[in-house]
Amino acid sequence: MAEPFFQFKRFRVYHSACGFKVGTDGVLLGAWAKVSDGNSVLDIGTGSGLIALMLAQRAKACIDAIELHPCAAKQAEQNVARSPFGDVHVYNHSLAVWADSGKKYDVVVCNPPFFSNAQPPKDDALALAKHTITLTPMELFGHVKKLMLPTGLFCTIFPKTEYELFCQAAKTNGFFPENVVDVYPMPNYPEIRLMVQFSFTDNGKPKREALYIEQSDTRHDYSEEYKALTKDFFLRF
C-alpha cells in the first residue's frame, strides 16, 4: 500500500508518521503568516513540515523547524529533502530546550496543541500534537518570548473556545495582538478558529477581519478570499 501524501503545486507532503495530518489549520497559517525575504523564521511543532515548506515557497527566508516527536521530525526532514526549497532545517528538539539556545527570530509560527479540556487520544503522536500535554499556552508564549526579536512577530492559530486562555498567556508575557482573522466554515455558521499575529508593541486595537472558507452549503464552493489566500498551493485553484 502506498504511503499517504498530500500534493501541493510545488511540493508533496507525506504525513503518516505525524499526529497532525495535512489539514485546514496548517494550510491557513502557512498561507497567512507574515514572512518576507531575508527573515529568520522558527516553525514550532512542525509535524510533517507543512507550514515550514509553505513559508519557504512564499519567501527566501532561513527557516528552522523543530519537532518533539522523533518519527514526525524524520518525516519532516524527508519532506524537506524532496522539496525544491534548500533553506529549511528540521530539528528533533523540544521547545523548552530550543528556547534556551540563544537563537532569535524575526518570525515565529506555531499551530499549537490547543485542546486543554478534552480527553487526549490514545495515540501518542496525536496526543502530543493536539493537546496541551507538554505545552500549555502560558509555556508557549513564555518560550516564544525568549526566541523572538524585539521587532519580531508571532503568528498562530487556535480555536475560538481557547481564546481567553491564549490571550491571557499573551498578555502575561508582554505580547499584543496586531492582526486577527476570525475564521468561519461558511456564512451563518459559528466561528471555528482565530489566526492572530502578535508583537511586543501595543498599537492599540488590532486590525480584524473575517475569513469564510466556503461561501455556501454546496460542497467545495470555496469563497474568493479563501481561494486567493491558498491559490499558490492547492492544485484545484
Segment holding 133, helix H or strand E: none
In the numeric block, the cell 482573522 is attached to 181
Per residue in 69-78, pLDDT (tens digit) is: 999 999 999 9
The hierarchical CATH code for the domain 18-230 is 3.40.50.150
Tell me the residue type at 158.
Answer: F
DSSP summary character for residue 160: G
pLDDT at 129: 40
pTM score of the predicted model: 0.90
User: pLDDT, tens digit, for every residue of 146-183?
Assistant: 999 999 999 999 999 998 999 999 999 999 999 999 99
Closest CA to 208 of 197, 221, 224: 197
pLDDT of residue 178: 97
Amino acid at 141: F
Query: Has residue 115 got a pLDDT over 80?
Result: no
Distance CA 119, CA 124 (A): 13
Q: Would you state the pLDDT for residue 148?
A: 98
Q: Distance between the two ends of the chain, CA-based, in angstroms?
A: 29
15-58: per-residue pLDDT in tens?
A: 999 987 899 999 999 999 999 999 999 999 999 999 999 999 99
Mean pLDDT for 2-16 is 93
The CB density around residue 107, as the number of other CB atoms within 10 Å, is: 24
* Cβ neighbours of residue 235 closer than 8 Å, sequence gap 6 or more: 7, 8, 9
Beta pairing partners, 179: 197, 207
Q: Are 194 and 183 in contact (CB under 8 A)?
A: yes
**Cα torsion for 44, 37, 40, 129, to the nearest 10°?**
0
